[in-house]
Structure 1
Amino acid sequence: MKNAWITILCSVCLWSACTEEVVPSIYTGPDGINFYYDQVGPYDADPYPGGSSVQSGSLSNSSPRDTLWFRILVMGNLSDKERSFSLKQSTLSAIDSSSYYTGGVKVAVPGVNYIAFDDPEMQKYYVIPPAVSYVDVPVIMMRDPEAFVGSSKFSMQYCLHFEIVPTDELKILDPRFYRAKLTFTQWSW
């Protein structure tokens, strides 16, 4: 009889241990995205360390294109569907951020100095797959063959400020981290 009670007790313990506990979602805020921020320097995002095979933006005759990758963090509830976002070149003002001072560096021109953010080639990078916490997006810099016509300079520097465009589905959760900055040099040789 004692063995029967021990068997029943063990069976009840095993049965209760096998039930699944469902943890309710405690996050009730909006879903959103921001650039990865490395905590160094101004609030503008930098190219993601390790996200690019090339860590500097430099173009010459031997390398007419170069790519730097920027990490975008996805926050909020897990999604089971693809979501999209977009980027755009920032319109700068002196009161926005002290880091926007270009110091004589030329502002990059879409389609001339970099592949425009609305170019069909770039659209495939602006899709967030289901259940991911980040995506890496490229900024493809291009060499402008006309940059040195009539100039005695050996190099020209360009600056590109760009930002995430919020959507109804994906908001900007931290207004400090929706902009990024890229500075690159084009050499005459």
Structure 2
Amino acid sequence: MKKILMMIWGACLWGACEKAEVPSTYNGPDGIHFYYDQAGPFDADPYPNSDKTGYLSLSQETDTLWYKIDVMGNVSGKERKFALKQSVLSSMDSSSYYTGIATVAVPGVNYVAFDDPRMEEYYVIPPHTSSILVPVILLRDPDVDFGSSWSKAFCLHFEIVPNDEVKILDSRFYRGKAKFTQWSW
């Protein structure tokens, strides 16, 4: 009887030592999307200060808001490129595109245009990376008309442009929003 119990115990021990089947690769899609950590509209806010807005005073020529982009899918051993562009959607398309009293920002005037050569270095995903930070560089417009006010508010809606290397994984999280104010003093 002891021999039979020892043989059963040995068989159980042998079974426990066998190699487990673990999938060696991920088979899902690759892509990117903005980091999202809030309730309400899905447009990404600046990271890590999600409540931050830009401020440009008379003595301040630029301000920078940073946005986190998550890289999902297979680990890549090569760098990949993507692009951003200003959204052409309006409040008719989505309630999150309501700008209120803010003026729609103009590329090259109120912010460094997304297709400006200075921005190219920020639109590269390094190998083996799970997230990156990309800037929206705000510019002070010396010709802004303040009217009777001390300040003027601007709003910029922008989005990730998919390409052959980088897709958008979640269509809810491909847009971002920058709010900023230019002061007359």
TM class, shorter-chain normalised? 0.7 to 0.9
Distance 1:90 1:154, change over 3 A: same
Give 1:48's aligned residue.
Answer: 47
What residue number does 2:28 align with?
A: 29
Is it true that 1:167 corresponds to 2:163 in the alignment?
Answer: yes
Distance 2:98 2:22 in 1: 52
Of the three residues 174, 178, 181, the one matched with 1:178 is 174
Q: Which runs of 5+ in 1 are unaligned?
A: 1-15
Alpha-carbon distance in 1 for matches of 2:57, 2:183: 5
1:66 to 58, 63, 67: 63
Structure 1 residue 92: Cα displacement: 1.2
Q: Which amino acid aligns with 1:57?
A: G
Q: CA–CA distance in 1 between the matches of 2:44 and 2:22?
A: 38
CA deviation profile, 1:93-117 (whole Å, cap 9, x unmatched) = 3343211111131000000000000
Q: After the TM superposition, list the runs of 4 or more consecutive aligned residues in structure 1 that deviate by more than 2 angstroms.
A: 93-96
Where structure 2 has 5 or more consecutive residues not aligned to the other structure, the ranges are 1-16
Q: Shift of residue 64 of structure 1?
A: 1.2
- 1:5 matched to which residue of 2? none
Whether the aligned pair in 1 keeps the contact of 2:79 and 2:126 (CA below 8 Å) is: yes
How many positions carry a matched residue from both structures? 168
How many Å separate the matches in 2 of 1:87 and 1:61?
Answer: 28
1:137 alignment partner, SS class: strand
Give 3-state SS (helix, strand or coil) of 1:124's partner.
Answer: helix
Sort the Cα spacing of 1:175 and 1:101 in 2 relative to 1 into closer, same or farther, 3 A.
same
* 2:10 alignment counterpart: none
**Offset, 1:23:** 4.9
Task: Specify the code of the residue in structure 2 equivalent to 1:174.
Answer: D
Give the aligned CA root-mean-square deviation in angstroms: 2.2
Partner residue of 1:81? Answer: 78
Superposition TM-score, scaled by structure 2 size:
0.84
